[in-house]
Structure 1
Amino acid sequence: MTFSASSPVSFVRTAVDTEIARFIERRRTQLLEIGSELAPAVDALEAMLSGGKRLRPAFCYWGWRGAGGDDVAEIHRAAASLEFLQACALIHDDVIDNSDTRRGLPAAHKRLADLHAAEGWRGAPEAFGRGAAILIGDLCLAWSEDLYQASGLELEALHAGRTPFDAMRTEVMAGQYLDMLEQVREGGDVEATLRVMHYKAAKYTVERPLHMGAALAGRFDDLAGVYTAYGLPLGVAFQLRDDVLGVFGDPEQTGKPAGDDLREGKRTLIVAETLERSGAAARARFLRHLGDPALDGDAVAWMRGVAEESGALAACERRIDDYVGKATAALESGLLDDAARSPLADLVVAATDRKY
């Protein structure tokens, strides 16, 4: 996904990237004083934080502006703290899914396993990589808290922002657990998948960052309902677009091999729709392929064909359009500051208008 220099994401990203770089540089110094051996771990963490769409900081910032907050450095620092939370989630997610790549680069656990192998250390490189990645993810979680507290916002504002910030962290972990549970139970019908998306994506990606911005600006009670009406449908639409791209996406755009979600066996909504709409023979074959790490290009093409021919792809596109309509309608509220209305409308497009 690319954005123009004047887009509501790029505007926030420039400031957030600066805050992240400054924070990591300070913490790199601290870690290297503990031991120079920590340098590869910091490098892996920095590589993870160097990419990403910065959507959560953008929603936090525009949630603040929609509540009447000014464009000040303090809100950029508070918003940047969400990227460390996101890095924690992604690093751990890649360990859970055993994903080799993230944004076109080696996943953190893979990068550290390769270090182990190159140095010829004792034991299994994969075990070392997983353990080190879990610790780096934990470090990102701790640093998210540190950056939030050091943002420079008034203590009263930080206290108010804690309610959505704390809820966000609990909900994303709960959503991740529910997601894992659906995989091992081989469930993942449409309703169960939507519940996972509600907590792991919609609340975490859009609603809670908006709530956090409103709370930091002292207007949570006024705007929580508006931001929920906008954020939940948009968050589901965003995740659903990601899921569609996980099956049909161009590797040059997604940074992952074609059909990687199918190899990992992810019980996404497009998979749930495909299984519910397919005949018995196609469903059985689809399930045999789903989660096969050796899935080749022909099998991926066949599974894509089933998703298309069954009407699952079209159903997902209709859902995205419906959710986008609901999010857009919520912006008509007269409670929002005019400075944020247009950027929030642009964010609807940025989050969902990605082609495959």
Structure 2
Amino acid sequence: MNHPERDGVIRQGSVAWQAATGSAGVLLDAAEIGSMAETLLLGFLDEQDLLAVELPELALFTGLLRDLIAAGGKRIRPQLCVLGWHAITCEPPTSAVWRVAASLELFHAFALIHDDVMDHSVLRRGRLTAHRVFAARYRNHRDADSLGEHAAILLGDIALGWSYELLHDRDSAPDLSRAVGAALNALRTETLIGQYLDLSATGCSAADLETAWRIIRLKTTKYTIERPLQLGALLAGAGRAQLETLSEYAIPLGDAFQLRDDLLGVFGDSGDTGKGTLDDLREGKHTVLMATAYQRATPAQTRLLRRYLGNPGLSERDADRIRRVVTDTGAREAVEQMIDSRVSQALAALDVGTLEPDAEGALRRLVHTAANRST
């Protein structure tokens, strides 16, 4: 059945998409790309509400997704997708590029929502996590916490499905199916396997650097850096040499990005990171930082780590004991050196000159921003 009035409203709600895809071929900065991706996502969510007027409950889910998007975030995946396009061509980004960029951010929302449930996190981007919001909404329920977690899983499922729905329209779908289907599927599979490895290794007290590195590569390096760059580049018709350059840049940068995240998870300021400062320690996250600390620890330090790391009731005082061991073993400084080494590798990968100069300059600047951040 046709709904001309509703369809007219939906077309009006799509103005943001048209404005973004009609931009000139200038190289936009990170804030502009992030703002466009956010605008496109909010417009898409408005469309979902209009398409499901018979489901008033959906507004709760779209509202929570809007809150998560509005709370900020680095928007690094949309940024890299658009930079991947600009690295290959001076032409303005197509509708397909913007849809993929926005889709990556919606996929990221799915991953964060489920990750917070699995990690029992309370804060995300300085706000209550989705499962805590649901639990508070149904605080009079006989098991509000379980209901909150289950509802958040459904919210993540919706975000995952919509991240694929968002890709398709009459203009962009043919390009998407030819150029990026395999890379998108690889991104999804790698991310979920990385999350599985993270779950299975969490709480295991061991100096297992190999597993820690695999988690980084699958859960962050490919998902956050390499695949988004590849997706934009593929849509621009990148050749093998250009794709290789981007991978040689992305892998060390992704490593550095996650290593910095691991340091912030232990030594960061929650006011900057927007996350609890004890979450990773209470979970007993198996990171390169902690594996390095175990590798270098004395027997007494090892006993201390095993006593406190992964304790759900960990206090700030006990967390300081862990931090002291990580510092005294030299693990903290070792990870800082790993970051510096990978920054140099990422920058050196761009020296071959196979990419567009303006985009190359932006990629160089991004290295320092991603590796030396405090959030």
| TM class by smaller structure | over 0.9
Using the size of structure 2 for normalisation, the TM-score is 0.88
Distance in 2, Cα, partners of 1:167 & 1:220:
19
Aligned pairs for 1:172-191 (under 5 A) are 172-183=191-202, 185-187=204-206, 189-191=208-210
Deviation at 1:157, TM superposition (A): 4.7
Residue in 2 that maps onto 1:47: 67
List gaps (5 residues or longer) in structure 1: 1-5
- Number of residue pairs the alignment of both structures matches: 347
Partner SS, residue 121 of structure 2: coil
Is 2:148 the counterpart of 1:129?
yes
Is 2:56 the counterpart of 1:36?
yes
Deviation at 1:222, TM superposition (A): 3.7
Deviation at 1:292, TM superposition (A): 1.5
Aligned pairs for 1:1-356 (under 5 A) are 8-31=29-52, 33-50=53-70, 51-68=72-89, 70-72=91-93, 74=95, 75-117=97-139, 120-121=140-141, 123-150=142-169, 152-153=171-172, 155-183=174-202, 185-187=204-206, 189-355=208-374
Identity of aligned residues (%): 38
Residue in 2 that maps onto 1:3: none
Partner SS, residue 73 of structure 2: coil
Asked if the contact 2:202–2:283 (Cα under 8 Å) also holds between the matched residues in 1, the reply is: no
Asked if the contact 1:157–1:218 (Cα under 8 Å) also holds between the matched residues in 2, the reply is: no
Deviation at 1:41, TM superposition (A): 2.2
Asked if the contact 1:103–1:255 (Cα under 8 Å) also holds between the matched residues in 2, the reply is: yes
Using the size of structure 1 for normalisation, the TM-score is 0.92
Q: Which segment is superposed worse, 201-210 or 293-302? A: 293-302
Deviation at 1:105, TM superposition (A): 0.6
Asked if the contact 2:88–2:236 (Cα under 8 Å) also holds between the matched residues in 1, the reply is: yes
Deviations 1:135-189 (A, max 9, x none): 1111111111111223943613542111211111110001111111112554461
Deviations 1:189-216 (A, max 9, x none): 1121001101110011000111111111
Distance in 2, Cα, partners of 1:41 & 1:220:
41
Partner SS, residue 114 of structure 1: helix
Partner SS, residue 310 of structure 2: coil
Deviation at 1:35, TM superposition (A): 2.5
Partner SS, residue 332 of structure 1: helix
Deviation at 1:76, TM superposition (A): 2.2
Distance in 1, Cα, partners of 2:179 & 2:292:
40
Asked if the contact 2:257–2:370 (Cα under 8 Å) also holds between the matched residues in 1, the reply is: yes
Distance in 2, Cα, partners of 1:267 & 1:220:
37
Distance in 1, Cα, partners of 2:156 & 2:207:
27
Q: RMSD in angstroms over aligned alpha carbons?
A: 1.8
List gaps (5 residues or longer) in structure 2: 1-26
Q: Which segment is superposed worse, 132-141 or 43-52? A: 43-52
Letter in 2 for 1:259: L
Letter in 2 for 1:297: E
Deviations 1:75-115 (A, max 9, x none): 22321110011011111101111111111111111110111
